[in-house]
Structure 1
């Protein structure tokens, strides 16, 4: 007797396929039965923004690298096939805003992200030919367009990609009042219109903070009661725009203590007044990421007081300044401020101040228990105090260190000792700072990290003897070896065959080999096949820089 599952269970399966970004399975489910069609398609279009065109989706590799087994013609065919699927998806979304599709696909969108549409429009004439049906062409061309101080009818030819992207985005935003997130690069007036029509808006990502200059904060406060996240790529002074003034007005206009996430990704001109105005959000901020601050702006940070909800903080790439006595006075104040943020769990510093000194002061506090630390731009030979402080944070699960390594064995031993005490680590990335690691250092370190899932490590003179150090990591899923190495195919295969089920999905990368003689293309493909068959894994191989690989091709690494 056939067993039928309740609809609720089947719909849960479809939702899980959406969580896994499994577009193909969702599409096949939509074709299988009319009973599945609506829910399967609603899930599929809800994740439309996970496109491989800009780094998402299961077909991402087809857009970034050619698979070794594919010829040039086959690769191009494979790539075009994937592109056509995304053309079809976007075309369906746009046509649905014109009421020309089976279902209102636009209404399933919860995150309006137009970056991928822009990439699609710029992918060539073939894509445009397939995307622009007569209905879409008529829609984007029929309105008046500006021409100097006059306006004229749209031309027979298509308008530029940016104008088209905004036009199509507006069509979606005007008809879908359920949008909860936006990522867009549009004029201020357009953004304000979209905000007014999006009462459920919770997050906003914009390229330039200048688009927030025309009362965007007031619009958000009036129309978006659940708004809580703001991400900005760059916020610069571009007359007549003034970043300091606009930021101050924005923060003061938002509902007090409503912003949970604020990030500046690239260069900004935010100043002390901006930071002071950010104080209207001190009780709600959970994540704060700031970059390119000048010393006067940094000096204002302690005025925020201990942020009671702050869990994630990133401070990077400050404007250069002289490290005077006044500078260190400011550093001490910033350190006290960080220690007052009692819920801080994840901290990232990169060229912020004297970061080694700042971190040492912060991490020596018993009131701070970090789970993630990213620290770039320091010298291992001058880090004894920092590593003493690091030993106090055995709560760390993620550690990313990048700096200048040391030829002094004692410095490397101190680093190994400090990291070896972090037995809860799941991810460890040592870039440049471990350039003078020997295989003995690695063999000493790894037995103390049984939970490690991801490891990036450099070093010198690695050979097959080091594989035993990685074999003792039962949960390892990603191993990138940037050490100068002279591995053999037999050694790599022997390592792979010793791994267990906990290593399933392993990505193995040998990135700095001194010679390619032992790894011809055929041998690399053999390793890939074994990894794929045994562990559903993958393999990458890269030679050291040419001057090293040629000069060092005769070097014999000791066993």
Structure 2
């Protein structure tokens, strides 16, 4: 007799597939049985923002790589299949707001990414032709054309991409462009009161309207801080009791003081100690008053990421006092300042502030303020127990004190160092010696700083780091003799070798054959091979097939003269 599982169990299985981001299995479940369809599709659209169709997945990377080489002609046969899926995804979401789909897909969305829609619209004119089926064209076209005795919307008068994004987000569609009247439909934002997060680039008035109808909103990403300039903090306080995260790409103004005032007003308007995550990704005019106002959130902040601060603003950071909940701190690309006595005093105060944040786990610095000295002073504090450290701009020939202090931080599980290597063997030996003490490391990225590593030094390093799961390393010149240094890493999942290399196909295959169950999903990248040891396409295909068959892994290969100027522009180990 057939056994029928209760619906609750089936739904739990589908929810687990969603948590594992297993899109293919969810889709197959949706096709397999009408009993699965509704819930499987609900889960799929709930996690659409993490789908490989958009947002950084493997298929997305393939699409970007092809977009650099290919101009889309409009032919479906010539388009990347991921692009077609991407178009279908957004068309189904928007059509669902018009009740023209099997299910209300928009209602399952928890994170609305209109930037992703903007990226899609910017892919090419052929995309709009496929995205705007007659049902959508009816709502976004802005004029009619005569066709016999009939009039229809003109496909040549589609609004600009920004207008389309706003209309799709707010449900504001033109139905009579001649007179400019608008029908405000209950679309994605208005109709979905369950949105938890939003990423958009819209005017302040529109953003305020969206905030007012999003009572579940917890996170917000905006392109410019000026979008928050018209009392957005008050709107959030009044309508979004669970708001916790704010990310801003740029916050600047022709009059820098204006951005400073806007930031101050925002922080003061938010409920005290409610903001857990705050990040500015690019240039900003945040100043001392902004930092003082940020102190209203000091007891709740767990992640703080600031960039392009002036020395006067940096000087205000210690006034926040040790942030009791802070776990992640990123300080990057500050404005140039003279390294005078006052600078040194500020550096010491900031280092003390960093070193006394009791829960700090991950620290990132890049061109902040004499970073090697800053980190040396911060790492001297007994209170600090980092699990992750990212330092871009490290100069091996000048970083001895930093390396000596690094030895004591055996709690580190992730270490990223990028900067300038040194031809002096003693310098490289010190780097190897310091990192080799960090035997809890899971991920190690040495970019440029290990350019002068010999194969022996690389071997000494890996012998001590048996927990490594990801490794990026360069060096002077590597050949097949280096493989034993990597094969001893039984947990390794990803290896990127940027050393000028003379590897042979037989050596690579022999290395792969020595990998075990702990290396399942192994990714091998040989990125700087000499032309004399180029692998023909058929050899690369053979290695990919072996890796995929034995470990469900992948293989990338690049010649030295074909590399991009930025070696990690395409392959990055960091999540």
TM above 0.5, yes or no, is yes
Q: Is 1:444 aligned to 2:472, yes or no?
A: no
- The residue aligned with 1:64 is 64
Which stretches in structure 2 are left out of the alignment for 5+ residues?
145-152, 171-186, 564-575
- The residue aligned with 1:203 is 219
Q: Is the alpha carbon distance of 1:262 and 1:61 closer, same or farther for their aligned partners in structure 2, counting shifts above 3 Å?
A: closer
Distance in 2 between the 1:389 and 1:512 partners?
32
Any conservation in 2 of the 1:87–1:131 contact (CA below 8 Å)?
yes
Q: Is the alpha carbon distance of 1:18 and 1:78 closer, same or farther for their aligned partners in structure 2, counting shifts above 3 Å?
A: farther
- The residue aligned with 1:168 is 168
Distance in 2 between the 1:17 and 1:231 partners?
29
**Aligned counterpart for 1:480 among listed residues 487, 493, 496:** 496
- The residue aligned with 2:348 is 332
- The residue aligned with 2:573 is none
How far did 1:160 drift? 1.2
Q: Is 1:32 aligned to 2:32, yes or no?
A: yes
Give the secondary structure class of the aligned counterpart of 2:335.
Answer: coil
- The residue aligned with 2:568 is none
Instruction: List per-residue Cα deviations over 1:35-82 (Å, max 9, x = no partner).
Output: 112111111111222354544345334413469xxxx99x97374433
Any conservation in 1 of the 2:257–2:285 contact (CA below 8 Å)?
no
Any conservation in 2 of the 1:489–1:518 contact (CA below 8 Å)?
no
**Aligned counterpart for 2:319 among listed residues 276, 288, 303:** 303
Give the secondary structure class of the aligned counterpart of 1:270.
Answer: coil
Q: Is 1:534 aligned to 2:544, yes or no?
A: no
- Select between 397-406 and 156-165 the one with higher mean Cα deviation: 156-165
Instruction: List per-residue Cα deviations over 1:496-524 (Å, max 9, x = no partner).
Output: 00100111111111111122444222222
Any conservation in 2 of the 1:21–1:58 contact (CA below 8 Å)?
no
- The residue aligned with 1:268 is 284
Any conservation in 1 of the 2:142–2:159 contact (CA below 8 Å)?
no
Distance in 2 between the 1:518 and 1:254 partners?
58
Distance in 2 between the 1:10 and 1:358 partners?
54
- The residue aligned with 1:555 is none
- The residue aligned with 2:306 is 290
How far did 1:155 drift? 9.5
- The residue aligned with 2:9 is 9
Q: Is the alpha carbon distance of 1:446 and 1:76 closer, same or farther for their aligned partners in structure 2, counting shifts above 3 Å?
A: farther
Any conservation in 1 of the 2:256–2:285 contact (CA below 8 Å)?
no
How far did 1:98 drift? 1.5
Any conservation in 1 of the 2:23–2:51 contact (CA below 8 Å)?
no
How far did 1:230 drift? 0.2
- The residue aligned with 1:147 is none
How far did 1:94 drift? 1.3
Q: Is the alpha carbon distance of 1:522 and 1:131 closer, same or farther for their aligned partners in structure 2, counting shifts above 3 Å?
A: same
**Aligned counterpart for 2:338 among listed residues 302, 322, 336:** 322
Q: Is the alpha carbon distance of 1:497 and 1:154 closer, same or farther for their aligned partners in structure 2, counting shifts above 3 Å?
A: closer
Q: Is 1:350 aligned to 2:366, yes or no?
A: yes
Instruction: List per-residue Cα deviations over 1:252-307 (Å, max 9, x = no partner).
Output: 00000000000000111111000010010000000000001010000000111010
**Aligned counterpart for 1:361 among listed residues 377, 380, 387:** 377
Any conservation in 2 of the 1:486–1:513 contact (CA below 8 Å)?
yes
Which stretches in structure 1 are left out of the alignment for 5+ residues?
145-152, 548-559
- The residue aligned with 1:511 is 527
How far did 1:201 drift? 0.4
Any conservation in 2 of the 1:387–1:414 contact (CA below 8 Å)?
yes
Distance in 2 between the 1:496 and 1:282 partners?
50
Distance in 2 between the 1:165 and 1:303 partners?
41
Any conservation in 1 of the 2:189–2:210 contact (CA below 8 Å)?
yes
Instruction: List per-residue Cα deviations over 1:74-98 (Å, max 9, x = no partner).
Output: x973744332323222222112212
Aligned length, in residue pairs:
535
- The residue aligned with 1:429 is 445
How far did 1:29 drift? 1.5
Q: Is the alpha carbon distance of 1:66 and 1:115 closer, same or farther for their aligned partners in structure 2, counting shifts above 3 Å?
A: closer
Instruction: List per-residue Cα deviations over 1:102-122 (Å, max 9, x = no partner).
Output: 221111111011122122223
Distance in 2 between the 1:79 and 1:155 partners?
21
Distance in 1 between the 2:61 and 2:169 partners?
28
- The residue aligned with 1:87 is 87
- The residue aligned with 1:219 is 235
Distance in 1 between the 2:205 and 2:539 partners?
58
**Aligned counterpart for 1:453 among listed residues 460, 466, 469:** 469
Q: Is 1:491 aligned to 2:507, yes or no?
A: yes
How far did 1:541 drift? 1.1
Any conservation in 1 of the 2:356–2:381 contact (CA below 8 Å)?
no
Any conservation in 1 of the 2:216–2:240 contact (CA below 8 Å)?
yes
- The residue aligned with 2:121 is 121
- The residue aligned with 2:50 is 50
How far did 1:491 drift? 0.7
Any conservation in 1 of the 2:233–2:270 contact (CA below 8 Å)?
yes
State the TM-score, normalized to the length of structure 2: 0.89
Q: Is 1:259 aligned to 2:275, yes or no?
A: yes
- The residue aligned with 1:471 is 487
Give the secondary structure class of the aligned counterpart of 1:60.
Answer: helix
Any conservation in 2 of the 1:346–1:372 contact (CA below 8 Å)?
yes
- The residue aligned with 2:147 is none
State the TM-score, normalized to the length of structure 1: 0.91
Give the secondary structure class of the aligned counterpart of 1:485.
Answer: coil
